[in-house]
Structure 1
């Protein structure tokens, strides 16, 4: 009797060779890989200032005010927080965590009676995005069910290595092309001066 016949005789009736199992961690790796691909498709080729604006507004539409506050500059936030009005820029930055928490609560309270219409979104006008060393400009349009309803410009400042929204203002389409002429070096200098001033006003 050859070796294979001997093995067949001693194998229990109904016992079949077990199928090789795929280690569970392989599925985890696959899922993580797909998630990474999705993230890259959504954000991987998006410049940092555009990502900040998109994240801010998506959080606002979702009523996630903690994320809204995280993407706002402390210099914007103190407009709603009079207790911080006399702090220096350095003190504001040092108190960023508390300012975020406080302004999140204030915005949530303000927005209690407001509702977001269905089908609202923003679309970044990438051709007008400008980036400096510590600043950026992003132009975007509001859409409701695919139709343009307005346009804004966001001015961003770098705080703790992250670009955050310093100001948002309506954009006149007739002056849109002037955005391309903005000297970002001058904007960087203005922000540097702000950070060196003795106190906010």
Structure 2
């Protein structure tokens, strides 16, 4: 009985988070309600509140998991790899995340546009520490002449903006490109060329 109850609880929790992702990504934090999330999850409001005491708690759980996933591609940058290829792999991983998880990207963007009140601690903690670490690695590669010298932190910012744009502004991208285009395939080829030219040291 305990195993069955745990399975049901896990299933309900997953259903709530999936529903919350749908509602938050469509309406933002302020426009979303517990009633909407419960309806999409197929649960009653009291049942939802059994698992999460508030809308804020659901939102914070989603954001915490999302930020961890969002950092994985940067964590995967290998200090022992070939620098240009490591950066290009990072760009591809970030673009794949935008393609495969557009709702998560829009949820994160909405939170940042509101000033990040529910994720500020993580941004100023885990995110900043990882960016500082990888910026230092990029700086070492630049000092060694293995990649062209650019501002390493703004390089990382540029990867974020140029990849997440395709999720956050999907409707605009598809409207401008028109039918018959694969935005992410085309973006992948373009970004590979862009960053390869930017990062290849002069003379190579």
TM-score after normalising by structure 1? 0.23
Q: Which one has a larger percent strand, Structure 1 or Structure 2?
A: 1
Larger Rg belongs to: 1
Q: Which structure is richer in relative contact order (CA contacts within 8 A, separation 6 or more)?
A: 2
